[in-house]
Amino acid sequence: MIRVLLADDQALMRAGFRALLDAEDDVEVVGEAVDGGSAVELARRLRPDVVLMDVQMPRLDGIEATRRIGADPGLAGVRVLILTNYELDAYVFAALRAGASGFLLKDADPADLLQAIAVVARGDALLAPTVTRTLISEFVTGPAPADPAVGRDVLTAREQEIVELVARGLSNDDIAGRMVISPLTAKTHVNRAMAKLHCRDRAQLVVWAYESGLITPRRR
């Protein structure tokens, strides 16, 4: 059973998500938060598997709420799935940087929402290749890090290559095909890289790859 916490200041939006999720046998809505502050409080009290987090909410926005959840050692098993109205929402990358495991458009098909919850609940990141490339090209074009090599010395050359492919938006199957290895081996390399860099999931691995200067976003 996947336990879900809804965080959105619009009652109608929460009601719609609840109606959809309550119809599923393997999903349980354990609570509803009307702002970021209550989302953090309920996450600590209810320990959901996934928080569906709106970005723009009163009192405390979804990004800061995500940051607080991600920084709380007691909530290490709680994953945040950001809800946004726009594919190019400027807040999305900030949310990933804060510790979100991915994002979903509010007008997504019900089946996509259910799949997204399942993906995030099992610890994977919801970052489709096209979404990853778009986010990176749009929102990671800030100043270069002071020391681009920071952290890279803990990765092997093979792991650095694989992390770069992850950041370019390739799945484990894509990486396996590119590097002529098995998907399981690709997944093992990705998991080792995440462990060495203390990344919670694939989304944070993408953030690290760009912030460390391992790869440079392509400017238009």
User: Which residues, including other chains, have CB under 8 Å from residue 97's CB and lie 6 or more apart?
Assistant: 207, 211
Residues in the chain: 220
Token pair of 3, please? 């336990």
d(CA 43, CA 46): 5
Instruction: Give the tens place of pLDDT for each residue, 27-69.
Output: 999 999 999 999 999 999 999 999 999 988 988 999 999 999 9
Instruction: Give the tens place of pLDDT for each residue, 130-157.
Output: 555 555 555 455 544 444 455 678 899 9
DSSP string, 98-109: HT--EEEETT--
State the chain's mean pLDDT as an integer. Answer: 83
